[in-house]
Structure formats: C-alpha cells, structure tokens
C-alpha cells in the first residue's frame, strides 16, 4: 500500500480506543481517565445513561465544595474587648528569609487597651509599653494550663 500514511491517524485512534483484555481499559482511557469517542459512536444511537450522568454531576458538586476555600471577608473579623489577651504576628516573618523559621511566629501576650478606627487596636505589653496593631496581625491568646488545672503564672497580667 503506497498511501499508508494517510490512514495512520485513524488506525492509531482505533488501536488506542480498543479495550485491552488484560487491563479491561483502553490505552486512551488509561491515559486520560475517560473513554474515547469515535465518530461511529454518534451514529450507533447509543442510549444515554442518565444514572451515570447524575452521579457525575453529584461528584462535581462535591469536588467543588471540597475545593472552596474559607472566604476571608470583613464579616469574619474577630472583635476583641478591652483587657483581652492577644498575640501579635512578628513583622520580620513577612519578609522572606529574614528570620529563622525556629523563632516564634507571634509575640506576646499583649493586653487590649482600646479599639481604634480602621480595625486598629492599641495594646500594652507586659513591660507597660503601648503599641498599635492592625487586626490582621492579632490573634486571641490562650494561656497554658498547668497539671493542677489552674492557669500558668507565666503571664504578668492579673485576671479581673
């Protein structure tokens, strides 16, 4: 046959679409995860499997929900009250490679003195120094619990 190269794409498509006896799948399906669609498939009038389609749609919805990230919006901003104890994100960590990864990520505890405008909080350190931080750098402080069940005395603040 002189013009074998003209028929090569169709022959390869047929080989790739044929289901293998040993694996039970076609090479195309193993490579791409779905069965191949040959031009003859549309002429056979194959019946559409609605149950499989419903399962596929349900699966897609489940995958979408699992991939959704928790939205960061103004509705999720934590609100702190006066005298709450908080930790503050170290500013050095925001710059790549400036600080060792073994240093603490947060500093504190700090005590909230007052809430300012634009999501700013005035805080006081254990050494009675005052600072102003944006809410995005502040998290709630949870004191460590000792074995006796009481709060640790590592905190310099007296509870009210």
Mean pLDDT by 10 residues, the chain (160 residues): 86 88 85 79 60 74 68 66 93 68 87 94 95 93 73 51
What is the residue-wise DSSP string for 103-148?
A: S-SEEEEEEEEEE-STTEEEEE-TTS-EEEEEGGGEEE--PPBPTT
In this predicted structure, what is the pLDDT of residue 68? 66
Question: Rounded distance, CA 121 to CA 116, Å?
Answer: 5
What are the structural domain ranges in the chain? 4-67, 75-140
94: CB partners within 8 A, 6+ apart? none
Name which of 113, 137, 115, 111 is nearest 125 in CA terms: 111
CA distances from 109 to 4, 145, 157 (A): 79, 15, 9
The matching CATH number, chosen from 2.30.30.30, 2.40.50.1020, 3.40.50.620, 2.30.30.140, for 75-140 is: 2.30.30.140
Q: Is the whole model's pTM more than 0.75, yes or no? A: no
In this predicted structure, what is the pLDDT of residue 150? 55
In this predicted structure, what is the pLDDT of residue 61? 78
């Amino acid at each position: 046959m002189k013009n074998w190269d003209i028929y090569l794409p169709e022959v390869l498509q047929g080989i790739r679409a044929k289901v293998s006896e040993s694996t039970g799948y076609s090479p195309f399906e193993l490579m791409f995860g779905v069965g191949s669609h040959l031009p003859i498939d549309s002429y056979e009038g194959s019946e559409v499997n609605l149950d499989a389609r419903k399962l596929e749609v349900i699966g897609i919805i489940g995958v979408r929900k699992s991939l959704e990230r928790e939205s960061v919006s103004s509705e999720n901003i934590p609100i702190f009250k006066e005298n709450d104890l908080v930790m503050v994100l170290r500013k050095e960590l925001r710059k790549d490679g400036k600080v060792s990864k073994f240093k603490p990520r947060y500093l504190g505890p700090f005590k909230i003195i007052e809430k300012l405008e634009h999501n700013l909080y005035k805080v006081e350190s254990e050494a009675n120094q005052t600072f102003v931080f944006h809410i995005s750098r502040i998290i709630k402080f949870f004191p460590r619990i000792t074995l006796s069940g009481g709060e640790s005395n590592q905190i310099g603040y007296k509870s009210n």
